Amino acid sequence: MEVEDLLVLKNNKGTEDNRVRHMDYGVQFNKLMYERLISGGNITLFSPQDVPGLYDAFFQDQDKFQELYEKAERMTSIRKKSMPAIELFSSFVTERKDTGRIYLMNVDHANTHGSFIEEVAPIKQSNLCCEINLPTKPLSDINDPTGEISLCTLSAVNWGVIKDLQEMQKISNLAVRALDELLDYQEYPVLAAELSTMNRRPLGVGIINFAYWLAKHDSTYQEPNLALVDEWAEAWSYGLIKASADLAQEKGKCPLTMQTKYGHGITPNQTYKTDVDELVKHKERQDWKGLRKQLKETGIRNSTLMALMPAETSAQISNSTNGIEPPRSYVSIKQSKHGVLKQVVPGYPYYKNKYDLLWEQKSPQGYLKIMAVLQKYIDQGISVNTSYNPEHYEDEKVPMSMLLQHLIMFYKYGGKQLYYNNTHDGQGEIDINKDEPLDDLPLGDIDDDDCESCKI
């Protein structure tokens, strides 16, 4: 019932007693809400306590949710408010655009295309950086053994330095084995975090240097080679799952393996939103049939294996571009609590005309298509940003219709979470002549968006 007030908490208008401007929060949607938007219908607002079972069904059973929702809409005995779906979505998009930091989560996709059986281990929330999808349960006190705090141990594969796909299995195997050892090595100050980690053994292996990888393969964000992205993502995903399945044979499966789809022989490329097939034809080049048989027989060591996290300062060590994001300039200043570092995009002398810089892109449409193809093979989520340069639009204003179009497109292709909404304001950006010597290149903005919760 309070959604209209909650959406404007970060808005600069209003007084301090009705605003919480420094809090980051996300808004959760599902299929029914998008259907109402597309059909021009209304969304009805309820208080969850007035409609028993509705909140749980929101995450666990979309058909049950719709049944309870429509039944409640017909009831005259409970408080409710009906408003056009376009107004609610427009309000969300406006606040997301104006603040840049109101996030989105499509809870149905996070569950139906997630690692866990949603009826027994539903995903109810994500982390600040919007790439982790793990079950959580509230705690009655700090020592409550029935509560669940989810931790995800992260790493990433540097696609930019892989010469061919034959290397992917070896690298994936190394990543999984190294991270799995860390789960037993590290200490857990809260019991609910330790029990959850030991029972589920979740990992999140991501991708870094993706922009460099695109440049090396003569592809861009605006016109991506989606077939190539699909082929590499399949090999990467297969390698990680295979490594964990092999580890389960050696060391044993995680105790709650049967709460995962993996435990039933189901892999992410079986649960993805099939609309993605419009972008790239579905193929199975790896031995998925054999792997699914192995998973049924031996289970999985790690309940999750993939998550595409932001990688700002983390990418410095290998001189990589940030995760799956396009660079904002050829030379950037990375700032963190550890200091300041000037970083040049990898392979600049050879690929300076191949890089697709963020603010050169007319819209995030090509980027969102890449995310859709990657998400097909990922059991958790992707920290997806939407970015707009007003210079590419009439009167330098990004139309609401386009913002909504991209929101619907993101849902259509199975998107789970959206992180930042970036708008180019021209501050600190410097035009660079690609023919200038490398030493003469000016610097772009200081890049300090790193999230402490997502270090790899």
- Nearest C-alpha neighbor of 66 from the set 34, 40, 90, 89: 34
- Nearest C-alpha neighbor of 451 from the set 24, 66, 134: 24
Q: What is the pLDDT of residue 293?
A: 98
Half-sphere exposure of 392 (CA within 13 A, CB side): 14
Q: What is the pLDDT of residue 456?
A: 67
> How many other CB atoms are found less than 10 A from the CB of residue 345?
22
> How many other CB atoms are found less than 10 A from the CB of residue 48?
12
Q: What is the pLDDT of residue 82?
A: 97
Average predicted confidence (pLDDT) for the chain: 92
Q: What is the pLDDT of residue 433?
A: 54
Please give the positions annotated as active site. Answer: 127, 129, 131
Identify the three-state secondary structure at position 386: strand
Q: What is the pLDDT of residue 357?
A: 95
Measured CA to CA in angstroms, residue 205 lies from 102, 208, 239, 378 at distances of 25, 10, 11, 10
- Tell me how far apart the alpha carbons of residues 219 and 60 are, in angstroms, rounded to a whole number: 39
Q: What is the pLDDT of residue 233?
A: 98
Q: What is the pLDDT of residue 430?
A: 47
User: Is residue 217 exposed (0-12), middle (13-18) or buried (19+ Cβ within 10 Å)?
Assistant: middle
pLDDT in tens, 261-308: 999 999 999 999 999 999 999 999 999 999 999 999 999 999 999 999
First CA to last CA distance, the chain = 39
CATH node for 100-454: 3.20.70.20
Which residues in the chain show pLDDT less than 50? 428-430, 443-446
Q: What is the pLDDT of residue 16?
A: 79
Q: What is the pLDDT of residue 425?
A: 79
- Tell me how far apart the alpha carbons of residues 304 and 364 are, in angstroms, rounded to a whole number: 28
**C-beta separation of 379 from 112 below 8 A:** no
Q: What is the pLDDT of residue 332?
A: 83
**What does the block give as tokens for 201?**
């053994």
Q: What is the pLDDT of residue 316?
A: 81
> What amino acid is encoded at 145 in this protein?
P
Give the helix/strand (H/E) hosting 245.
helix 226-251
